Structure 1
Amino acid sequence: MNLKKRLNYVTTLLSPSFINFYLKNKQTPVADALTYVKLKKEATAFLDQYQVQTTSGEKNNVIWICWFQGIEDAPPLVRHNIETIKRLYPKQQVQIITLANLSDFITFPTILQDKIDAGLIPYAHLSDLVRVALLTKHGGTWIDSTVYFTGTNFPGYVFDAPLFFYSNTQQQNRAIAASSWFIHSDTNHPILVLTRDLLYNYWQTHDTLDNYFMFHVFLTIACDHLTAEYAKLPRLGNVEPHLMGKVLFEQFDEQHYQEITALSSMHKLTNKFSKENQEKADTFYQYILNH
């Protein structure tokens, strides 16, 4: 490659249009780090004048699970996960959030609701907005519909702390501090309130999603801004809860299953898989559906 072509190549890589394309289409530590820098820079003025929420929170034992189309149309794994949670936590209210009942629990700012109605916000990010709005207003526990429980053996702080989420322990990605598929919170926790407000502030001036993990990046920005609050949070790594998902369509092995469930009683799975995988016999997936 001659010098002119190299310069053109570098110029393209550094152009705002290419960077924006990269951020929107790549989920990598580099893309997340670039998104963190970009979003934090855009939010500088907002953060400088932000008044930290000091309202004391209240506890709520409701479990929030979202399936926008209604549980009747949910995949078998989602329905099974929900029934398992209800069986394991009979004393807690399990509230299914759908598009039909969403307005019974939360109200978004008008400009954000208009963009939701216009279809500018994909369902995956809408669920991020829903979880942070529900937890700041009502408190309780958000559990993604793809989370499978094999027991209730958790440290007490998982359900007792003012705020708990699984921490990202992968050193190569520091732009994302935590997972969002399980969050337990009192009402009005400052970190979640700031995360919510950063998201609302973003959508005032944007019509597209910068990064699939934008919620996680804003959550990290909130943790970095409220260092004293973040330091109080209990930490539990998010690696073990992902182990079951990595073998979901492998041949079932009882010993391996016991090893995984001994490490974690909570398992982040997925409902994005091929029909071919779904129909494979004697897999971990098939075992889960039948137990």
Structure 2
Amino acid sequence: MNLYILWFQGFENAPDIVKWCVHSWKRYNPTWNIVLLDSNNLHEYVDLSKITYDKDIQLCHLADIVRMVLLRDHGGLWVDATAFCHKPLDVWLPAYITSGFFAFEKPYPYLMLSNWFLYAEKGHPLVTQWCQETLYYYQVNGKANTYFAHHLFEHLYHTDVAFQREWDKVPKLSGSIPHTIMIPDFFKTTGRKDIDSKRVPVYKLSYKCEFPPYDPRMNVYYLYSTL
């Protein structure tokens, strides 16, 4: 099974936190084929020349397009480059992918699901329709706003009975769980017990902050040390 991680600029140029995250997926998931994508090899999986969008699009929004097309055409698991694996996928994920699709639900009260961790079988109706509507939107509008992909999913859920039925079949796991040491909790020293418990299978981290000098007591650095 393929696991896709994308860093357009190349992983050799990525922040240290991204490199640690990639290492975590390799460390815990030897049975998965980890595909590291960048601007040089992305064409092997997604032909962006056939997709209409503004050429000055933000990379995070371009990544929204890429993940949709990847999962529609190839199937597998997409994880953002700042997702840190803390438990082998083979231990916990099978129970949640029985419908052929999985996303963490309700990371915040105003979002139906997260899209930084997405599993789909090739051609699954949820990802196929979500992808189709995403590509159509960019074809018409060129750009999108923050959380556009999430709001589009919710719109489809409320306007398409078949789409709603497919999402309702997906086993649910709260999207708030992977955010337990998000900014500003990165650099606190109170999360060690939670990390040791392995309660959280995957953490959603971020590179968008200033990192202080290494201190093994800090949550994010302690998390690194568990690898």
Q: Taking structure 2 as the reference length, what is the TM-score of the superposition? A: 0.88
1:219 pairs, out of 141, 148, 153, with 153
Task: Tell me the secondary structure at the aligned position of residue 278 of structure 1.
Answer: coil
Asked whether 1:183 is paired with 2:118, we answer yes
Q: Distance in 1 between matches of 2:194 and 2:103?
A: 26
Describe the superposition over 1:40-61 as per-residue Cα deviations: whole angstroms up to 9, x where unpaired: xxxxxxxxxxxxxxxxxxxxx1
- Which structure would you say has the larger Rg? 1
Identity %: 23
Q: Distance in 2 between matches of 1:78 and 1:252?
A: 23
- In structure 2, do the counterparts of structure 1 residues 86 and 160 end up closer, same or farther at CA, with 3 Å as the change threshold? farther
Displacement after TM superposition at 1:132 (Å): 0.5
1:151 pairs, out of 73, 87, 95, with 87
Structure 1 residues not aligned, in runs of 5+: 1-60
1:243 pairs, out of 174, 180, 184, with 180
Map 1:200-219 onto structure 2 (within 5 A): 200-209=135-144, 211-219=145-153
How many residue pairs get aligned? The number is: 219
Describe the superposition over 1:151-172 as per-residue Cα deviations: whole angstroms up to 9, x where unpaired: 124253334440000011644x
Q: Distance in 2 between matches of 1:285 and 1:278?
A: 11
Map 1:130-145 onto structure 2 (within 5 A): 130-145=66-81
| Maintained 8 Å contact 1:191/1:222 | no
Q: Distance in 2 between matches of 1:169 and 1:81?
A: 20
Structure having the larger proportion of residues in helix: 1
Q: Taking structure 1 as the reference length, what is the TM-score of the superposition? A: 0.70
Task: Tell me the secondary structure at the aligned position of residue 228 of structure 1.
Answer: helix
> RMSD of the TM alignment (CA)?
2.0
Describe the superposition over 1:185-213 as per-residue Cα deviations: whole angstroms up to 9, x where unpaired: 1011111111111111112221332x211
Q: Distance in 1 between matches of 2:93 and 2:143?
A: 39
Q: What one-letter code is carried by the residue in structure 2 that aligns with 1:145? A: A
Q: Distance in 1 between matches of 2:170 and 2:194?
A: 32
- In structure 2, do the counterparts of structure 1 residues 90 and 177 end up closer, same or farther at CA, with 3 Å as the change threshold? same
Q: What one-letter code is carried by the residue in structure 2 that aligns with 1:78? A: V
Q: Distance in 2 between matches of 1:256 and 1:62?
A: 29
Displacement after TM superposition at 1:252 (Å): 5.4
Q: What one-letter code is carried by the residue in structure 2 that aligns with 1:77? A: I
Asked whether 1:163 is paired with 2:97, we answer no
| Maintained 8 Å contact 2:86/2:201 | yes
Structure 2 residues not aligned, in runs of 5+: none
Displacement after TM superposition at 1:83 (Å): 1.3
Alignment correspondent of 1:266: 202
Alignment correspondent of 1:63: 3
